[in-house]
Amino acid sequence: MKMNLDEIKDYVQTMTRNDASGHDFLHLERVLKNAEQIMQKMPDQDFDTDVVRITALLHDLIDDKLIDDVNQAIDDLRIQMREWGLSDDERAAVLEIMTHMSYSANLEQHYTLSLEGQIVQDADRLDAIGALGIGRTFMYGGHAGNLMYNPNEEVRTDLTHNEYRKNSTVINHFYEKLLKLADLMNTESAKKIAKRRTAFMEFFLEEFKAEVRGER
């Protein structure tokens, strides 16, 4: 595959130009950068770097929390990838990752991703935690109309996909998902980064609760 990454970036930038949920083009660029860094730490591993790069840039374009018709989005993306010159195998590899990498998709059963998929999944999850994750979580919460905090709303556990998609407070989302991601990372380099970013979120949550109580 002779990939023109700039052409793909232009397409993605156009598709996400109106995003106000924290899943904008800058997020996708950061996921790509994270994936590049992870791949650099795996010089002895055999994976398709182009599949990783393309999936990193495209993965949110079929996200069911962001679009109304996932099947139509997948069909559109198949056509677009064909126009970019991806082979049948490459298109299948990209879509296999995209449809199985999300946190919600793995709530009721755990999917075993290809090595390329594991890299992209880690890269995406890293952008969901730490300082960036805090900012994006509040941004998405506002976009979705969720409350920031409700002391009377308990953290949900053992969620199905449909239950997870129901509204929760922004603060509860840290406990329902974000603080769990470090333990779910696939690659060693991502695990190290996730550990530090998770510690930062834990500090933030301690400060948040102390300020709510009027202690600081």
pLDDT tens digit string along 36-46? 999 999 999 99
The pLDDT, as a whole number, for residue 216 is 87
Q: How confident is the model at residue 4 (pLDDT cuts 50, 70, 90)?
A: confident
Average pLDDT over residues 135-162: 96
Residue 94's alpha-carbon distances to 87, 88, 115, 174, in angstroms, are 11, 10, 12, 29
Q: Domains plus CATH for the chain?
A: 5-212 (1.10.3210.50)
Average pLDDT over residues 92-101: 98
Average pLDDT over residues 10-21: 96
Q: How confident is the model at residue 104 (pLDDT cuts 50, 70, 90)?
A: very high
Q: How far apart are CA 149 and CA 142, in angstroms?
A: 12
DSSP state of 59: G
The pLDDT, as a whole number, for residue 2 is 62
> When comparing pLDDT for 96 and 4, which is higher?
96
DSSP state of 53: H
Compute the Cα dihedral for 95, 99, 100, 102 and give only its sign. positive
Say yes or no to pLDDT of 8 above 70.
Answer: yes
Nearest Cα to 127, choosing from 62, 57, 68?
57
DSSP state of 181: G
Longest dimension (CA), the chain: 59
The pLDDT, as a whole number, for residue 84 is 95
DSSP state of 148: S
What pTM was estimated for this model as a whole?
0.96
Nearest Cα to 116, choosing from 94, 88, 91, 135?
94
